[in-house]
Chain A
Amino acid sequence: MSSWEIIQQSLPMFEKGFVLTLWLSLIGIIGSIIVGLICSLLQYFKVPVFHQIATIYVEISRNTPLLIQLFFLYYAFPVLGIKFSAQVCGIIGLIFLGGSYMAEGFTGGFNGVAKGQVESGKAIGLSRWQLARYVVFPQGFSLSVPAMAANVIFLIKETSIFTVIAIPELTNTALDLIGMYYRSNEYLFVLVVAYAIILIPLSIILTLIEKRVRYGSFGN
């Protein structure tokens, strides 16, 4: 069979993997943003006890590889009687990892707000909440957009690691096909193209958004 025929025949399977990669990424990214936002707010307002818990979680999550986190969820947790399907493990793992990256992104944004802004806010007598609501958050969120954008791309790429717990996303589909038919060139080509189709337009859109929100940063 010619390379082209091989590629054509594999497309329906890649399509399934493509859709699954997108779905898992989407749920993972939304979950990560929620977890990250909660953690960064707990840290910003220094909520007693909870902000220490958030800090410990962030450090553990961001300093260990996703692969080990997934192995832990998928192979070690069932020993304790906690069992999830592979896809649920994948999503939990991705959110566990992504939450800390997003938290760091938001915190970086809040800390990046120029000192003069915060001091001026205090000087005109804003309360802690008003300072956060009207000064720090609006500027901090727009400052954190580049980090968020990098995290979104990073998390989509991390879904390729799901292959180790046999979730049939893009990478797993390609590796499966290679294992069955030994046509590594064709399947790897489709795989790279598939990631490019997701990531190139997305990174262009994210760059545009970054430019759009840059007006939010004063005094820098």
Chain B
Amino acid sequence: MAHSGISVLLEGTNFTRLLGGLFVTIKIAAVALITGLILGVILGVLRTFKNRLLRLILRLYLEFFRIVPTVVLLFLFYYILPRQLNFNLPADQLATLVFALWVAAEMSDIVRGALISVPKHQRESGLAIGLNRYQLYRYVLIPQAMTLEIPATINLATRVIKTTSLLMLISVMDVINVGQQIIEANNHTHPTGVFWVYGLIFLFYFLIDYPLSWWAKRLEKRRLERANG
């Protein structure tokens, strides 16, 4: 007898397995975000310096990561690192590396945009009271830029979380890959299981991303209200 589809989620260890997959997904997103954000802030600060060569290189880095779709980035690293550079990483670490570099590129642009939109008199006043460059960034520019860049950074985080859905393409055991295994294993007994498993994964992603994007929207709205008086 065919069971009703939703029971596929409750059978055996299926639900805990899905949660395990979700944990892998979240871990990769979190590690990539943290390392990417730190690297991105450094690159963003460097991009406001006057050195032209440095700025050009960092700009090219950004544009490369912007133009190449993330799917393609994953495959570039997946094929080229081991074959050309003899650099073997497990798929989950490889994905973390790709996402971190991608986050760093996007973050560098957010940070740069925020730094140059700090009013000019702030920088000049800082210099006038004799701050050196490190002090100027540490005490004047970065704290003010931070408040400007928080909504964009949260939005970047939601994008990274959504993009982790691509992990299954390079056979990381993420929540979608686990879901597919459950669907295949239960296809005979639960023909409608596919609907419930993908439905649950859909819900997982929504439950993680919705609060974040709601928060970003609220911060942005407040900032606009303050700016508009």
Asked whether B195 lies within 8 Å of A79 as measured between CB atoms, the reply is yes
Judged by a CB distance under 8 angstroms, whether A178 is at the interface is: yes
Which of B13-21, B68-76, B123-131, B142-150 sits within the interface? B68-76
Asked whether A65 lies within 8 Å of B162 as measured between CB atoms, the reply is yes
Asked whether B71 lies within 8 Å of A196 as measured between CB atoms, the reply is no
Interface residues of A (CB under 8 A from B): 59-60, 62-69, 71-72, 75-76, 79-80, 111-112, 114-115, 153, 157-158, 160-161, 163-164, 171, 174-175, 178, 184-185, 188, 191-192, 195-196, 199-200, 203
Asked whether A59 lies within 8 Å of B67 as measured between CB atoms, the reply is no
Complex formed: what's the CA distance from A191 to B70 in Å?
A: 13
How close is A199's CB to chain B, nearest CB, in angstroms? 5
CB < 8 Å neighbour of A65 from B169, B205, B229: B205
Interface residues of B (CB under 8 A from A): 5, 66-72, 75-76, 79-80, 83-84, 158, 162-166, 168-169, 176, 183, 191-192, 194-195, 198-199, 201-202, 205-206, 209-210, 213, 224, 228-229
Asked whether A64 lies within 8 Å of B71 as measured between CB atoms, the reply is no
Q: Other than the known A65-B164, A115-B228, what 12 A-B pairs have Cβ atoms closer than 8 Å?
A: A59-B213, A63-B213, A71-B176, A76-B199, A115-B229, A160-B70, A184-B83, A185-B84, A188-B75, A188-B76, A192-B68, A200-B67
Given contacts A68-B198, A80-B195, A184-B79, are A111 and B224 in contact (CB under 8 A)? yes
Q: List 30 A-B contacts (CB under 8 A).
A: A59-B210, A63-B162, A64-B205, A64-B206, A65-B163, A65-B164, A65-B165, A65-B205, A66-B162, A67-B166, A72-B198, A75-B194, A75-B198, A76-B195, A76-B198, A76-B199, A79-B191, A79-B194, A79-B195, A157-B70, A163-B71, A163-B169, A171-B69, A171-B75, A174-B72, A175-B75, A184-B80, A188-B79, A188-B80, A191-B72
Nearest 4 interchain pairs by C-beta: A65-B165, A184-B79, A160-B69, A63-B209
Asked whether A114 lies within 8 Å of B228 as measured between CB atoms, the reply is yes
Asked whether B224 lies within 8 Å of A192 as measured between CB atoms, the reply is no
Residues on A with beta carbons closer than 8 Å to the beta carbon of B69:
157-158, 160-161, 171, 195
